Chains A and B, each alone.
Chain A
Amino acid sequence: MQVDEFLDPKILIVSGKGGVGKTTVAAALALVAARHGRKVCMAEIDRKGTLPKLFGGGDVTYEPRELSPGVWGLSIIPEDALAEYLRVQYHMSRISRAFRSTHFVDYITTAAPGLKDILVLGKIWYLEQDEDHGGGAPGFDTIVVDAPAAGHMATFLKAPQGLADAVRVGPVRRQSEWLNDMLTDPKRSRVHLVTLAEEMPVTETLETSEALVKDLGIMQGAVFANAIYSRLLTDEEAEEFEKIAADGKIDELYDVAQTAGVKLDDDDLEALHGYAHFLKVRRGIQAPHLAKLRKGVTQPVIELPFLFSAGLALPDIETLADVIEERMESL
């Protein structure tokens, strides 16, 4: 598959359970799109705040702001989306301020569950349409949505259908149909799921994936299996090393090291062994979950490596973007 084909729909929705690296993967996808000459907007939902950290500080607000060359970011806040909707739709800019008062959006979104999701999706729709609209934000080629956690995903994407069922006529009915069309048209949007090779995230991914296809008819992109301990060393190699040690032939390794000018002591050898064993064990734990994932979903599973880091920084995202690009070409 060509990268361009993969990036074809304008809206890329990225979802996954909390703590799986959803935002990181969304950011990496945004970078890939930007590298391919697209003007990208990354939308985070409801003030999560991870996005600005990834791109080195500065607030991300409701107004899109360029975070790195070609990548813009905004935070979709339901209160702001509602105010914007009222302003555009009903020319009610003054009174719409009252909607921001404490709890007001809470009340009406509790009264009509799904409305919050509609407001968020509505904003995405605005962003999608934007090339035709004057004013506002500049038109984007790709919109990467850092969507709500997977558990809430089906509800989130089902919201327009729900609203269309509840409201039979009028502008709201029409608008919810627009949103549903946007989500179910594979040329316009695609959903990518992110998971870890662990029990809970995989189970949730399988459930979400099934719900997306069955209940919603939404086009699925890839499943990203994140933080997979990569093969710096195969299990066979780790075992070979253990065998050398068990056979009392460790001196042969010392000799080779010495020839290369490397000074190794017993502690070093123990460390080499420790990490070789650790890698093998971690992979052993991840393997059955990965297998279950591959068996359970129809879309391609893209493995992303554990990054051997302990924070979130742009270089890490660049690395992930490299991997994604490479894997997409070989799909």
Chain B
Amino acid sequence: MTPSHTRVNPIGEIVNHKEIVVCAGSGGVGKTTTAAAIALQAALDGKKVAVLTIDPAKRLASSLGLKELTNEPSKVNKRKFSSASLEMKGELWALMLDTKTTFDEVVTRYAPSPEQAERILANRFYRNISSTLSGTQEYMAMEKLYELHAGGEFDIIVIDTPPTRNALDFLDAPRRLTDFFESRVLRWFLMPYMKAGSGIFRVANIAATTFLRVVKRIIGGDVLQDTAEFFSNLEGMYDGFKERAREVSALLQSAATSFVIVTSPGEDSVMEATFFAARLNEAGLPFGALIVNRVHPRFGDGVDVKPRQLAKLEKLGEHGQLLAKLIDNEEAFMRVVRLEEKNLNALARKIPRHRWVRVPYLEQEAIDFRGLSLIADKLFEA
């Protein structure tokens, strides 16, 4: 055992004690790369790890062995690690979420009969859901996560969250989707298209019919027919969906899970990270660590040069001009560094620094295992 008086690295702590790591944050902050780096390190250290990614860069995907879209975990070949001079003690498995296939599996699972499942899968409205309805991808990511965890095959699962407009969206996704399936407004409007109809419903139908005439004109009658069919086929499956959504929520709230918020030091993503931390807290979801990516490095405390002196330097020959340019450059970067620090100080008032890990800009892109392991070194640094 290492003595515990040194700072405990929050990421290391999570990887050692948790079964699920959810990486969340706004778009463009390096969520996917971070998830891959955490998974890689956990596997190198001897765990059997699955990394579930949503939308990886092509070169990262191919280094993970995900050239073809696959919704089932596949093991990354050991040779890939040795050729990057990494010693792999565990196993790294990777998969890329396929929203449509996952949804099909859900439908098949909850349908009372294979025939009913088939009717739903063939329905046009259903086929549109996975590609157009917002929240579906998030919901299916959680579903896939639950399934992987329940399978019990992996020591730890690291998941990257979809690039939503706003990082909070995916927390609401399961509820939004069950609401969507259950809304009574919808069934009221579709009543004329549904088979059965009691007396009370017929009264409601007069208003609904006027309304539907307009809708029909806009989107077409056959489309409405499809929609009505879809919802009538879905009857009796709601309880299954809801039950599962409850189980997923319970898993996310359990001690097995840890949320890692990924941010950059930019004002926008820092604000988003702050909101996100508050939302996790409200929802009773376990926050584990904050990863601050893409921080500009700080060298020194800033050179003290007045504009007048700079002007003078520029007149002092080649060396003077070179020095003036170097100073210009340094001042520009120090300006960014100070602004970033200001944003991060505000963040520190909401999330204590001992839960932070900073990852500075590295000298190469993380597109292969070599690059990922450099990031992992920073992530797990004590």
**Are B185 and A270 within 8 A (Cβ)?**
no
Q: Does A86 lie at the interface of the complex (its beta carbon under 8 Å from any beta carbon of B)?
A: yes
Question: Which A residues touch B189, using CB under 8 A?
Answer: 104
Q: Which of B44-52, B99-107, B147-155, B316-324 contacts A (4 or more CB under 8 A)?
A: B316-324
**Are A268 and B339 within 8 A (Cβ)?**
no
Within B296-327, which residues are at the interface with A (CB < 8 Å)?
A: 296-297, 299-305, 309-310, 312-313, 316-317, 319-320, 322-323, 325-327
Question: Which A residues touch B131, using CB under 8 A?
Answer: 113
Question: Which B residues touch A137, using CB under 8 A?
Answer: none
Mask: chain B, 238-275; 1 = CB below 8 Å from A; 0 = not: 00000000000000000000000000011110000000
**What's the tally of chain A residues with a CB closer than 8 Å to chain B?**
73
A253 to B318, CA, bound (A): 10
A163 to B207, CA, bound (A): 27
A233 to B27, CA, bound (A): 31
Q: Which of B15-23, B83-91, B328-336 contacts A (4 or more CB under 8 A)?
A: B328-336
Secondary structure dominating the interface of B: helix
Known contacts A103-B185, A111-B219, A272-B303, A308 near B336 by CB under 8 Å: yes
Q: Does A257 lie at the interface of the complex (its beta carbon under 8 Å from any beta carbon of B)?
A: yes
Give A117's nearest chain B residue, CB to CB: B132
Question: Which B residues touch A264, using CB under 8 A?
Answer: 303
Q: Does B40 lie at the interface of the complex (its beta carbon under 8 Å from any beta carbon of A)?
A: no
Known contacts A110-B129, A257-B313, A278-B361, A271 near B27 by CB under 8 Å: no
Q: Does A330 lie at the interface of the complex (its beta carbon under 8 Å from any beta carbon of B)?
A: no
A86 to B312, CA, bound (A): 69
**Are B301 and A309 within 8 A (Cβ)?**
no
**Are B214 and A18 within 8 A (Cβ)?**
no
Give the interface centre of A110, A115, A278, A309 by most chain B CB atoms within 10 Å: A110
CB distance from A32 to the nearest CB of B (A): 23
Question: Which A residues touch B365, using CB under 8 A?
Answer: 198-199, 285
Q: Does B59 lie at the interface of the complex (its beta carbon under 8 Å from any beta carbon of A)?
A: yes
Mask: chain A, 12-41; 1 = CB below 8 Å from B; 0 = not: 000001111000000000000000000000
CB distance from A259 to the nearest CB of B (A): 6
Q: Does A292 lie at the interface of the complex (its beta carbon under 8 Å from any beta carbon of B)?
A: no
**Are B320 and A112 within 8 A (Cβ)?**
no
Question: Which A residues touch B330, using CB under 8 A?
Answer: 271-272, 275-276
**30 sampled A-B residue pairs with Cβ under 8 A:** A17-B27, A17-B28, A19-B27, A98-B211, A103-B180, A103-B183, A103-B186, A110-B128, A110-B132, A111-B128, A111-B219, A111-B223, A113-B128, A167-B220, A170-B217, A203-B58, A232-B325, A233-B325, A237-B326, A244-B319, A256-B316, A256-B323, A262-B303, A270-B299, A274-B299, A279-B329, A281-B363, A309-B335, A311-B266, A312-B267
- List residues of chain B with CB under 8 Å of any chain A CB: 26-29, 57-59, 125, 128-129, 131-134, 163, 165, 179-180, 183, 185-186, 189, 210-211, 214-215, 217-220, 223-224, 226-227, 265-268, 296-297, 299-305, 309-310, 312-313, 316-317, 319-320, 322-323, 325-330, 332-336, 339-340, 342-343, 361, 363-365, 367
